[in-house]
Structure 1
Amino acid sequence: MKSKLVQLLRENQGFFLSGEKISIELNCSRTAVWKHVNALRKEGYVIEAVSNKGYQLMQNEDLLSKHAILSRVKDNPLFHHIAFYDSVTSTNTIAHKLINEDVKEGVVVVADEQTAGKGRLGRKWASPKRSAIAMSIILKPKLDFRQAPQLTLVAAVAVTRAVKIVTGLELEIKWPNDLLIKGKKVCGILTEMQADSDRIQSIIIGIGLNVNQQHFSEELVDLATSLQKEGDRVFDRAELIAAILKEFTWLYETYITKGFSFIKPLWEAHEITIGKEVVARSASNTKTGIAIGIDEEGVLLLQDDDQDVHRIYSADISFEN
């Protein structure tokens, strides 16, 4: 009910809606309307109430809540449940716990603050309160475990397209999981898998997106940026989350039916890795060469000085020059 009330007030933002009109739209009593308004106020929504006029949603400074997200994804056929938290150590960790409780595909874990998010190679990814998107998507595709890394590339395309739609900003994709603006990292994606034998049981796609951060630590100031810094305005995180989920839904469903060959050209349209001299560091070795492309499995192809081509399944990529 609260999600529907948020949606109704947002659709009429700038205008008063009478308690009677709201009660008719939501099929509830005016007393119930009053109770839900007060509940939303406690969550941080600024709702003005004037006698003989009704209720009006005032502009909120990027307030993120379960209801703000649900009101925007009500028609999404895949992502039907939002598990929202004010603060967590890691949304991926929460997602693993939910999978162990046998949740269905389509659950999205979202937190307003993430204090120890997971990054690749054991790195941490912090998402400060009221400034970033920290979310994890739970999927249960019937795929071979070797296809799991492809979903990182699907997610990268989804985020890139969603950010362009909402903000107008162009993101660049650095294989396999970094999204950049003008060479600075704005988003990271971490895909984790639970598999049985050679089949995927579940996939968790963690997405950390810098949205409204204005300040970065001294060690990150030259390496990271945010949508607000690049777009010079505050962006609505709930709107961005809904857009990411919408883009991911159709990309994922098409990927399941048509395969990675559908995703590959969309990914290539935004990538900045191919054609560059790179260093690929993994847990077992380091290789240097020219990134000459990705194959039909999404694996990076790296050609060394001896013209030998190496297939890089997972690595931390940095540019030589």
Structure 2
Amino acid sequence: MRDKIIEVILNSENEFISGEELSKQLGVSRAAIWKHIKALKESGYNIESVNRKGYRLVEKPVDLLTSQNICHDLDTNFIGQNIIHFETIDSTNDYAKQVAGNHVDGTVIISEEQTKGRGRLGRQFQSNVNEGIWMTIILKPDILPTQAPFITLIAGASIAKALNDLGVNTSIKWPNDVILNGKKLCGILTELSAEIERVNHIILGIGINVKTMEFDSEISQVATSLHKEGYKLSRVDIVRGILSQLEKLYTDYIESNSKEETLKICRQYSAVIGKEVYALKGGDRELVKCLDINEDGNLIVEKEDKSIKEIMSGEISIRGLNGYI
């Protein structure tokens, strides 16, 4: 019922809607409406109540990652049209894997907090309550498993493009991190469920530091957030922008096998092309120069002996010469 009430209030824009009208539309008593409005206020919605006028939302968009807030004005056809919102969860990726078979392509799992958020290789990902965007998107593409790694590049391109469109000068650290001022702002964790010749589903996990000001000691030198860098953006606006960009690039790839726009964005916002970095694999470290990203989304590098090498996504990690990147 609260979801329906806030949806009606959002759709009323700046106009008051009376308790009587809400009661008629939703088929409950005015007393029940009042109780739900009170609960919504306590959860963070800034709802103005005026005698003989009714209710209206004072601040829009409210920075709560609910389905109603995100879907209001969301310009997608399927990605994000089904949103499952949690106040807290262990891991959005783990939950998505459990329920993927029961939900449609493009379903989003999003939480205000993760208690066991993780990145690549099982590394812990700090996911404090109300401080970031911790979400997972369930994708069900009709592609071969060998085509799935490119989805990670699509995600990175979507996030970088959406943030740059909002005025944030981000770049992409191939293949799965988004960087701001030389530090990690966002991580992407893509997990695949597949048979030999078909993909069952792809679990696309995205973690973005938005409001975090203090990081755990082991990552404080390499991680940052939008607020820490001076960008006071709404989490709702960011999510909408990412989902919109993701649908465009994902649809191009799945329906037409078109990689052009994704690769263009990845090259345009690359944090590594033209730079010397260390390629890390196990305990080995090799100095290479990043030359380009090829049509398969793999990184083309030049070794110290001037030979050219292709690095596949997920095969090797890269680090900057004097820091994270």
**TM-score past 0.5 threshold:** yes
Indicate how the Cα distance of structure 1 residues 154 and 203 shifts in structure 2: closer, same or farther if over 3 A, else same.
Answer: same
Deviation at 1:172, TM superposition (A): 0.7
**What is the match of residue 196 of structure 1?**
195
Q: Which amino acid aligns with 2:68?
A: H
Deviation at 1:148, TM superposition (A): 1.6
- Please give the per-residue CA displacement for 1:82-130, whole angstroms capped at 9, x wherever unaligned: 121111221111111112x443211111010012212112211111001
1:44 and 2:38 aligned = no
1:122 and 2:108 aligned = no
Measured in 1, the distance between the counterparts of 2:75 and 2:261 equals 27
**What is the match of residue 54 of structure 2?**
54
**What is the match of residue 250 of structure 1?**
248
Deviation at 1:29, TM superposition (A): 6.1
1:16 and 2:10 aligned = no
**What is the match of residue 318 of structure 2?**
317
Deviation at 1:236, TM superposition (A): 2.1
Measured in 2, the distance between the counterparts of 1:254 and 1:23 equals 44
Deviation at 1:42, TM superposition (A): 5.1
**What is the match of residue 183 of structure 1?**
182
Deviation at 1:146, TM superposition (A): 2.0
Measured in 1, the distance between the counterparts of 2:199 and 2:138 equals 12
Measured in 2, the distance between the counterparts of 1:252 and 1:5 equals 33
SS at match of 1:126: coil
SS at match of 2:112: strand
**What is the match of residue 69 of structure 2?**
68
Q: Structure 1: any 5+ residue segments left out of the alignment? A: none
| Maintained 8 Å contact 1:2/1:67 | no
Indicate how the Cα distance of structure 1 residues 27 and 7 shifts in structure 2: closer, same or farther if over 3 A, else same.
Answer: closer
Measured in 2, the distance between the counterparts of 1:173 and 1:75 equals 24
Paired residue total: 317
Measured in 2, the distance between the counterparts of 1:246 and 1:120 equals 25
Measured in 2, the distance between the counterparts of 1:222 and 1:247 equals 30
Deviation at 1:23, TM superposition (A): 6.0
| Maintained 8 Å contact 2:76/2:247 | no
Q: TM-score, normalised by structure 2?
A: 0.87
| Maintained 8 Å contact 1:44/1:63 | yes
Instruction: Compute the RMSD of aligned alpha carbons.
Output: 2.6
- Please give the per-residue CA displacement for 1:48-80, whole angstroms capped at 9, x wherever unaligned: 322112113244873333332233438543332
Bigger mean CA offset, 243-252 vs 74-83: 74-83
1:96 and 2:94 aligned = no
**What is the match of residue 107 of structure 1?**
107
Q: Higher strand proportion, which one?
A: 1
Deviation at 1:304, TM superposition (A): 0.9
SS at match of 1:117: coil
Indicate how the Cα distance of structure 1 residues 104 and 38 shifts in structure 2: closer, same or farther if over 3 A, else same.
Answer: same
**What is the match of residue 226 of structure 1?**
225
* Identity within the alignment, %: 36
Q: Structure 2: any 5+ residue segments left out of the alignment? A: none
| Maintained 8 Å contact 2:161/2:265 | no
| Maintained 8 Å contact 1:7/1:72 | no
Deviation at 1:10, TM superposition (A): 4.2
Q: TM-score, normalised by structure 1?
A: 0.88
